[in-house]
Structure 1
Amino acid sequence: MKVSLRAGERIYINGAVLRVDRKVSVELVNDVMFLLEGQVMQAADATTAMRQLYFIVQLMLMNPTDVAAPAGLYGEHHAALLAVCESREMLDGLAAIDELVGTTRYFEALKRIRALFPVEDAILANLAGAATEIPFQAA
Protein backbone atom coordinates (compact mmCIF):
# COMPACT_ATOMS: atom_id res chain seq x y z
CA MET A 1 0.00 0.00 0.00
CA LYS A 2 1.34 3.41 -0.94
CA VAL A 3 0.61 6.42 1.28
CA SER A 4 1.37 10.02 0.32
CA LEU A 5 2.04 12.55 3.06
CA ARG A 6 2.35 16.33 2.98
CA ALA A 7 5.13 18.25 4.75
CA GLY A 8 4.51 18.27 8.50
CA GLU A 9 1.83 15.57 8.33
CA ARG A 10 1.81 12.70 10.81
CA ILE A 11 1.06 9.04 10.34
CA TYR A 12 0.47 6.58 13.18
CA ILE A 13 1.93 3.15 12.39
CA ASN A 14 1.68 0.26 14.84
CA GLY A 15 1.79 2.60 17.81
CA ALA A 16 4.60 4.80 16.46
CA VAL A 17 4.03 8.41 15.42
CA LEU A 18 5.98 9.55 12.38
CA ARG A 19 6.07 13.16 11.14
CA VAL A 20 7.54 13.95 7.75
CA ASP A 21 9.41 17.18 7.06
CA ARG A 22 8.64 17.25 3.32
CA LYS A 23 6.16 15.79 0.88
CA VAL A 24 6.81 12.07 0.63
CA SER A 25 5.25 8.84 -0.52
CA VAL A 26 5.72 5.79 1.65
CA GLU A 27 5.08 2.24 0.56
CA LEU A 28 3.97 -0.07 3.36
CA VAL A 29 5.16 -3.49 2.20
CA ASN A 30 3.82 -5.62 5.04
CA ASP A 31 0.66 -5.79 7.10
CA VAL A 32 0.58 -2.79 9.45
CA MET A 33 -2.10 -0.86 11.28
CA PHE A 34 -1.96 2.83 10.54
CA LEU A 35 -3.96 6.05 10.69
CA LEU A 36 -3.35 9.26 8.86
CA GLU A 37 -3.42 12.42 10.93
CA GLY A 38 -6.74 13.51 9.40
CA GLN A 39 -8.39 10.27 10.58
CA VAL A 40 -7.36 10.73 14.21
CA MET A 41 -10.11 11.93 16.53
CA GLN A 42 -9.13 14.04 19.50
CA ALA A 43 -10.71 13.19 22.87
CA ALA A 44 -12.54 16.54 22.93
CA ASP A 45 -14.28 15.62 19.66
CA ALA A 46 -15.73 12.36 21.04
CA THR A 47 -18.99 14.09 21.92
CA THR A 48 -21.53 11.40 20.97
CA ALA A 49 -21.82 7.69 21.67
CA MET A 50 -20.59 6.65 18.20
CA ARG A 51 -17.73 9.14 18.28
CA GLN A 52 -16.74 7.76 21.69
CA LEU A 53 -16.79 4.25 20.21
CA TYR A 54 -14.57 5.52 17.38
CA PHE A 55 -12.13 7.00 19.89
CA ILE A 56 -11.95 3.73 21.83
CA VAL A 57 -11.27 1.64 18.70
CA GLN A 58 -8.74 4.27 17.61
CA LEU A 59 -6.86 3.70 20.87
CA MET A 60 -6.74 0.00 20.10
CA LEU A 61 -5.34 0.67 16.62
CA MET A 62 -2.79 3.26 17.74
CA ASN A 63 -1.33 1.12 20.52
CA PRO A 64 -1.68 -2.50 19.38
CA THR A 65 0.68 -3.81 22.07
CA ASP A 66 -1.62 -2.64 24.89
CA VAL A 67 -5.27 -3.16 23.94
CA ALA A 68 -6.50 -4.70 27.21
CA ALA A 69 -7.89 -1.51 28.81
CA PRO A 70 -9.44 -0.09 25.62
CA ALA A 71 -10.84 -3.53 24.73
CA GLY A 72 -12.65 -3.69 28.08
CA LEU A 73 -13.98 -0.19 27.60
CA TYR A 74 -15.03 -1.10 24.05
CA GLY A 75 -17.00 -4.10 25.31
CA GLU A 76 -18.88 -2.01 27.87
CA HIS A 77 -19.58 0.85 25.45
CA HIS A 78 -20.65 -1.47 22.63
CA ALA A 79 -23.04 -3.34 24.95
CA ALA A 80 -24.53 -0.06 26.16
CA LEU A 81 -25.12 1.06 22.57
CA LEU A 82 -26.80 -2.24 21.71
CA ALA A 83 -29.09 -1.81 24.72
CA VAL A 84 -30.37 1.63 23.67
CA CYS A 85 -30.30 1.52 19.85
CA GLU A 86 -33.58 0.90 18.08
CA SER A 87 -32.48 1.69 14.53
CA ARG A 88 -31.96 -1.44 12.42
CA GLU A 89 -29.17 0.36 10.52
CA MET A 90 -27.35 1.14 13.76
CA LEU A 91 -27.82 -2.38 15.13
CA ASP A 92 -26.54 -3.95 11.90
CA GLY A 93 -23.61 -1.54 11.91
CA LEU A 94 -22.76 -2.32 15.52
CA ALA A 95 -22.79 -6.06 14.74
CA ALA A 96 -20.42 -5.53 11.81
CA ILE A 97 -18.16 -3.32 13.93
CA ASP A 98 -18.02 -5.93 16.68
CA GLU A 99 -17.00 -8.59 14.18
CA LEU A 100 -14.24 -6.35 12.79
CA VAL A 101 -12.94 -5.46 16.25
CA GLY A 102 -13.06 -9.12 17.26
CA THR A 103 -10.73 -9.97 14.37
CA THR A 104 -8.45 -6.96 15.11
CA ARG A 105 -9.46 -5.24 11.87
CA TYR A 106 -9.52 -1.89 13.63
CA PHE A 107 -9.05 0.31 10.56
CA GLU A 108 -12.07 -1.26 8.86
CA ALA A 109 -14.04 -0.91 12.10
CA LEU A 110 -13.20 2.81 12.20
CA LYS A 111 -14.42 3.20 8.62
CA ARG A 112 -17.68 1.46 9.52
CA ILE A 113 -18.14 3.64 12.60
CA ARG A 114 -17.52 6.82 10.55
CA ALA A 115 -20.19 5.66 8.10
CA LEU A 116 -22.69 5.60 10.99
CA PHE A 117 -21.98 9.18 12.13
CA PRO A 118 -24.68 10.65 9.82
CA VAL A 119 -27.19 8.05 11.03
CA GLU A 120 -26.43 8.92 14.64
CA ASP A 121 -26.61 12.65 13.86
CA ALA A 122 -30.07 12.19 12.31
CA ILE A 123 -31.29 10.18 15.31
CA LEU A 124 -29.98 12.81 17.73
CA ALA A 125 -31.55 15.62 15.68
CA ASN A 126 -34.92 13.84 15.77
CA LEU A 127 -34.62 13.35 19.53
CA ALA A 128 -33.71 17.00 20.05
CA GLY A 129 -36.64 18.10 17.90
CA ALA A 130 -39.04 15.89 19.83
CA ALA A 131 -37.73 17.22 23.15
CA THR A 132 -38.40 20.84 22.16
CA GLU A 133 -41.97 20.23 21.06
CA ILE A 134 -44.49 21.51 23.59
CA PRO A 135 -47.52 19.24 23.88
CA PHE A 136 -50.85 21.04 23.43
CA GLN A 137 -53.65 20.17 25.76
CA ALA A 138 -57.17 21.40 25.12
CA ALA A 139 -58.84 23.01 28.09
Structure 2
Amino acid sequence: MTLRISLRDGEKVVINGAVIRSSGRTDLAIESKVSILRGREIMSPAEATTPARALYFHTMMAYLDPDGIAHHHRAILEALAAVGRLTCCETGREAVATFAARAAQTDYYRALGECRTLMRLEHDALAEVAEEPA
Protein backbone atom coordinates (compact mmCIF):
# COMPACT_ATOMS: atom_id res chain seq x y z
CA MET A 1 0.00 0.00 0.00
CA THR A 2 1.35 3.42 -0.96
CA LEU A 3 1.58 6.19 1.63
CA ARG A 4 1.05 9.63 0.14
CA ILE A 5 2.07 12.78 1.97
CA SER A 6 2.17 16.40 0.94
CA LEU A 7 4.75 18.77 2.35
CA ARG A 8 4.56 22.55 2.43
CA ASP A 9 7.53 24.61 1.32
CA GLY A 10 10.29 24.21 3.92
CA GLU A 11 8.46 21.49 5.90
CA LYS A 12 10.65 18.76 7.37
CA VAL A 13 10.07 15.04 7.36
CA VAL A 14 12.22 12.27 8.83
CA ILE A 15 12.35 9.06 6.82
CA ASN A 16 14.34 6.19 8.32
CA GLY A 17 16.38 8.69 10.32
CA ALA A 18 17.18 11.01 7.39
CA VAL A 19 15.92 14.58 7.81
CA ILE A 20 14.47 15.88 4.54
CA ARG A 21 13.26 19.45 3.97
CA SER A 22 10.97 20.18 1.05
CA SER A 23 11.88 22.85 -1.44
CA GLY A 24 8.54 24.11 -2.67
CA ARG A 25 5.34 22.17 -2.27
CA THR A 26 6.25 18.51 -2.50
CA ASP A 27 4.16 15.37 -2.82
CA LEU A 28 5.74 12.06 -1.86
CA ALA A 29 4.52 8.55 -2.59
CA ILE A 30 6.23 6.06 -0.30
CA GLU A 31 5.93 2.51 -1.54
CA SER A 32 7.79 0.50 1.08
CA LYS A 33 7.75 0.17 4.84
CA VAL A 34 9.60 3.07 6.46
CA SER A 35 9.80 4.93 9.74
CA ILE A 36 8.43 8.37 8.89
CA LEU A 37 7.53 11.44 10.93
CA ARG A 38 6.37 14.80 9.62
CA GLY A 39 7.84 18.02 11.00
CA ARG A 40 5.04 18.67 13.48
CA GLU A 41 5.51 15.16 14.93
CA ILE A 42 9.24 15.66 15.58
CA MET A 43 10.37 16.70 19.07
CA SER A 44 13.84 17.93 19.97
CA PRO A 45 15.54 16.76 23.20
CA ALA A 46 15.18 20.30 24.61
CA GLU A 47 11.38 20.03 24.27
CA ALA A 48 11.20 16.90 26.46
CA THR A 49 10.62 18.98 29.60
CA THR A 50 7.86 16.99 31.34
CA PRO A 51 7.31 13.26 32.00
CA ALA A 52 4.79 12.88 29.14
CA ARG A 53 6.96 14.87 26.74
CA ALA A 54 10.00 12.74 27.72
CA LEU A 55 7.91 9.63 27.03
CA TYR A 56 7.05 11.00 23.58
CA PHE A 57 10.68 11.88 22.82
CA HIS A 58 12.08 8.47 23.82
CA THR A 59 9.30 6.65 21.96
CA MET A 60 10.01 8.76 18.88
CA MET A 61 13.70 7.84 19.15
CA ALA A 62 12.85 4.13 19.47
CA TYR A 63 10.80 4.47 16.29
CA LEU A 64 13.50 6.34 14.35
CA ASP A 65 16.64 4.69 15.77
CA PRO A 66 16.27 0.91 15.93
CA ASP A 67 20.04 0.52 16.45
CA GLY A 68 19.77 2.24 19.85
CA ILE A 69 16.67 0.34 20.95
CA ALA A 70 18.10 -0.96 24.25
CA HIS A 71 18.88 2.58 25.42
CA HIS A 72 15.49 3.85 24.21
CA HIS A 73 13.63 1.04 26.00
CA ARG A 74 15.25 1.94 29.32
CA ALA A 75 14.39 5.62 28.82
CA ILE A 76 10.80 4.74 27.84
CA LEU A 77 10.37 2.64 31.00
CA GLU A 78 11.70 5.45 33.21
CA ALA A 79 9.46 8.05 31.55
CA LEU A 80 6.44 5.72 31.66
CA ALA A 81 6.93 5.22 35.41
CA ALA A 82 6.94 9.01 35.90
CA VAL A 83 3.85 9.46 33.73
CA GLY A 84 2.08 6.65 35.58
CA ARG A 85 2.60 8.44 38.90
CA LEU A 86 0.96 11.56 37.45
CA THR A 87 -2.04 9.82 35.92
CA CYS A 88 -5.11 10.05 38.11
CA CYS A 89 -8.00 10.15 35.60
CA GLU A 90 -9.53 7.20 33.77
CA THR A 91 -8.61 8.64 30.35
CA GLY A 92 -4.98 8.88 31.46
CA ARG A 93 -4.90 5.34 32.81
CA GLU A 94 -6.40 4.03 29.55
CA ALA A 95 -3.84 5.99 27.50
CA VAL A 96 -0.98 4.59 29.61
CA ALA A 97 -2.30 1.03 29.19
CA THR A 98 -2.77 1.44 25.44
CA PHE A 99 0.66 3.04 25.13
CA ALA A 100 2.28 0.16 27.03
CA ALA A 101 0.56 -2.42 24.84
CA ARG A 102 1.61 -0.69 21.62
CA ALA A 103 5.18 -0.15 22.81
CA ALA A 104 5.41 -3.82 23.86
CA GLN A 105 4.39 -4.75 20.31
CA THR A 106 7.02 -2.30 18.95
CA ASP A 107 4.22 -0.28 17.32
CA TYR A 108 5.98 2.96 18.22
CA TYR A 109 4.22 5.15 15.66
CA ARG A 110 0.80 4.39 17.13
CA ALA A 111 2.23 4.62 20.66
CA LEU A 112 3.17 8.21 19.84
CA GLY A 113 -0.55 8.94 19.44
CA GLU A 114 -1.14 7.84 23.04
CA CYS A 115 1.77 10.03 24.11
CA ARG A 116 0.03 13.02 22.51
CA THR A 117 -3.08 12.19 24.59
CA LEU A 118 -0.92 12.00 27.73
CA MET A 119 0.79 15.30 26.90
CA ARG A 120 -2.62 17.01 26.55
CA LEU A 121 -3.78 15.56 29.88
CA GLU A 122 -0.53 16.57 31.57
CA HIS A 123 -0.77 20.09 30.13
CA ASP A 124 -4.36 20.43 31.38
CA ALA A 125 -3.43 19.13 34.86
CA LEU A 126 -0.48 21.52 35.12
CA ALA A 127 -2.69 24.43 34.02
CA GLU A 128 -5.23 23.54 36.71
CA VAL A 129 -2.52 23.47 39.39
CA ALA A 130 -1.19 26.84 38.20
CA GLU A 131 -4.68 28.37 38.46
CA GLU A 132 -5.33 27.13 42.02
CA PRO A 133 -5.11 29.85 44.65
CA ALA A 134 -2.13 29.59 46.98
Category of TM-score, reference length = shorter chain: 0.7 to 0.9
Task: Give the C-alpha shift of residue 20 in structure 1.
Answer: 3.0
What is the CA–CA distance in structure 2 between the aligned matches of 1:62 and 1:51, rounded to whole Å? 16
Structure 2 residues without counterparts, runs of 5 or longer: none
2:99 is matched with: 97
| 1:52 Cα deviation from its structure 2 partner | 1.3
Q: Determine the structure 1 residue equivalent to 2:32.
A: 30
Q: CA RMSD of the aligned region, Å?
A: 1.8
Structure 1 unaligned blocks of 5 or more: 134-139
1:76 to 2:78 alignment? yes
Contact 1:15 1:64 in 2 (8 A): no
Deviant stretches of 4+, over 6 Å: none
Q: TM-score, normalised by structure 1?
A: 0.83
1:10-25 paired onto structure 2 within 5 Å: 10-25=12-27
* Sequence identity (%): 29
Higher Cα Rg, which structure: 1
CA contact 1:14–1:64 (8 Å) conserved in 2: no
Deviation digits for residues 54-105 of structure 1 (CA, Å, limit 9, x no counterpart):
1111111221232111111101221232234222211110111111111121
Identify the match of residue 40 of structure 1 among 42, 55, 60: 42
Match in the other structure for 2:67: 65
